[in-house]
Amino acid sequence: MNKITLPKINLPLFEIEIPSTKQRITFRPFTVREEKILLIAQESKDINQIVIAIQQIINNCANGVNVNELAVFDLEYLLLNIRAKSVTNELSFTIKDAETESDVDLIVDINDIKIHTLEKHSKHIQLDEHNHLIMRYPSLQELRDMTTAGENVESLFNIMIACIDTLISDDSVYKMTDFNKEEIIEFVNNLTSQHIDSIKDFFETMPALRYEKTYINSAGNTKTFVIEGTESFFI
């Protein structure tokens, strides 16, 4: 006698463009399995759990992407859009107004959340008239390491040089993956402090999910609430 099995539910596929690469991929809504992962990470309020949850959900739901190679804002953008198709496109916030100290309930439409990029931001670092660097955006793991490194100069330096992708020297192209760490460190040690400041500026001005919501508080004054980053949108 053949065993009766339950039918599998076909989930719809949606197309989306990855912000940093402009690659178009497909994704499915998350299931109960992924929703549990979200809830556990949300309740933990632990950035490590949040990182693991984001990686696992996108690995499960998105086709043709490597979460270890995507920029942080790519992952955040994908996660929000997966959530919008899985649960609702609305995020509910309760904030405390700084002026009146009263609670304010806000609703944000995920479709209105955009990638915010400063005009001065660039992945290209000009070294001189013949040479310039092309940077890559740090992965979620690398960004977490930068956050936890604090004042550890060596750790921050290692992450910084790991995000140097390419050196363009006139008509020659040098991929940093073709060189060992010692060779790259020697190259970076010969840069000027001005060059290093430009590299730091690349990290400090990286694109990020950002949304501004205006509201009127109980005193009748117009206020602006700004939300950005993984922890703010991880709801």
Which amino acid, residue 110? I
Asked, for residue 8, whether it belongs to a domain, the answer is no
- Residue 14 and residue 87: Cα distance in Å, rounded? 14
What mean pLDDT value characterizes the chain? 86
**Domain membership of residue 54 as a residue range:** 14-115+208-233
User: Is the pLDDT confidence value at 204 over 60?
Assistant: yes
Hey, CA dihedral for 21, 22, 27, 32, is it positive or negative?
Answer: positive
- Residue 171 and residue 77: Cα distance in Å, rounded? 35
Confidence tier at 235 by pLDDT (50, 70, 90)? very low
Confidence tier at 150 by pLDDT (50, 70, 90)? low
Asked, for residue 160, whether it belongs to a domain, the answer is yes
> Are 92 and 145 found together in one domain?
no
What is the domain count for the chain?
Answer: 2
19-31: per-residue pLDDT in tens? 888 899 999 998 8
> Are 20 and 108 found together in one domain?
yes
pLDDT the model gives residue 199: 92
1-58: per-residue pLDDT in tens? 677 887 777 889 999 999 888 899 999 998 888 888 888 887 887 777 877 888 888 9
- Residue 140 and residue 208: Cα distance in Å, rounded? 13
Asked, for residue 9, whether it belongs to a domain, the answer is no
> Are 83 and 166 found together in one domain?
no
> Are 195 and 218 found together in one domain?
no
Both tokens of residue 144? 């977490």
pLDDT the model gives residue 11: 86
pLDDT the model gives residue 110: 85
> Are 100 and 175 found together in one domain?
no
Rounded to 5 degrees, what are φ and ψ at 137?
-75, 140
Asked, for residue 213, whether it belongs to a domain, the answer is yes
Rounded to 5 degrees, what are φ and ψ at 215?
-150, 165
Three-state secondary-structure class, residue 1: coil
Task: Give yes or no for a contact between 63 and 44, defined as CB atoms under 8 angstroms apart.
Answer: no
Both tokens of residue 153? 């100069």
